[in-house]
Amino acid sequence: MIHLGEYNTLEILRESEQGLYLADEEGNEVLLPNRYVPESFKIWDKMDVFVYLDNEERLVAVTDKPYIKKGDFALLRCNAVTEHGAFLDWGMLKELFCPFREQAFKMKKGGWYFVYCFLDEKSNRLVASSKTNQFLDNKELTVSQFEEVDLIVSHPSEIGMNVIINKKHLGLIFNDDIFQDLSVGDRLKGYIKKIRPDNKIDVVLGQIGYRNIEPNADAIMVELRDNSGYLNLTDKSDPETIKQVLKMSKKSFKKAVGSLYKQKLIEIKEDGIYLV
Same domain (yes/no): 123, 93? yes
For residues 207 and 155, which has the higher predicted lDDT (pLDDT)? Answer: 155
From 20, 27, 21, 19, select the one nearest 2 (Cα to Cα). Answer: 27
pLDDT classification of 210: cutoffs 50, 70, 90: very low
For residues 168 and 197, which has the higher predicted lDDT (pLDDT)? Answer: 168
Tell me the CA distances in angstroms from 84 to 7, 9, 101, 105, 262, one per residue in order.
28, 34, 10, 15, 66
First to last CA, the chain: 63
Phi and psi, residue 212, nearest 5°: -95, -10
Name the domain boundary from 100, 133, 166. 133
Same domain (yes/no): 120, 76? yes
Q: CA-to-CA distance for 75 and 71, rounded, in angstroms?
A: 14
**Beta carbons of 244 and 253 less than 8 angstroms apart:** no
Mean pLDDT of the chain: 92
Tell me the CA distances in angstroms from 118 to 20, 57, 68, 122, 144, one per residue in order.
27, 16, 10, 12, 27
Q: Is residue 138 part of a domain?
A: no
Q: Is residue 249 part of a domain?
A: yes
The answer on pLDDT for 214 being more than 80 is: no
Please state the rounded mean pLDDT for residues 230-245.
89
For residues 104 and 207, which has the higher predicted lDDT (pLDDT)? Answer: 104
Q: What percent of the chain has pLDDT over 90?
A: 67
Q: Is residue 54 part of a domain?
A: yes
State the CATH number of the domain containing residue 193: 2.40.50.140
Q: Is residue 140 part of a domain?
A: no
Residues 6+ apart with CB under 8 A from 40: none
Please state the rounded mean pLDDT for residues 134-146.
93
pLDDT of amino acid 211: 56
The answer on pLDDT for 76 being more than 90 is: yes
pLDDT of amino acid 234: 86
The answer on pLDDT for 183 being more than 80 is: yes
Q: Is residue 152 part of a domain?
A: yes
Same domain (yes/no): 23, 42? yes
Range of the domain at 125: 72-133
Q: CA-to-CA distance for 183 and 90, rounded, in angstroms?
A: 18
Count of domains forming the chain: 4
3-class SS shares of the chain: helix, strand, coil, % to 5: 20, 40, 40
pLDDT of amino acid 69: 97
Q: Is residue 139 part of a domain?
A: no
22-63 tens-digit pLDDT: 999 999 999 999 999 999 999 999 999 999 998 888 999 999
Q: Is residue 1 part of a domain?
A: no
Beta bridge partners of 11: 23, 46
User: What secondary structure letter does DSSP report for 6?
Assistant: S
From 5, 7, 30, 28, select the one nearest 119 (Cα to Cα). Answer: 5
pLDDT of amino acid 62: 97
Please state the rounded mean pLDDT for residues 64-93.
97
Q: CA-to-CA distance for 253 and 219, rounded, in angstroms?
A: 10
Q: Is residue 19 part of a domain?
A: yes
pLDDT of amino acid 252: 85
pLDDT of amino acid 213: 57
DSSP string across 100-144: GGG-SS---TT-EEEEEEEEETTTTEEEEES-GGGG---SS----
- pTM comes to 0.77
Please state the rounded mean pLDDT for residues 160-167.
97
What is the chain's length? 276
DSSP string across 194-260: EE-TT--EEEESS--GGGGHHHHHHHHHHHHHHTTTEE---TTS-HHHHHHHHSS-HHHHHHHHHHH
Sheet of strand 272-275: strand arrangement? 230-231, 272-275, 266-269
* Helix (H), strand (E) at residue 261: helix 250-262
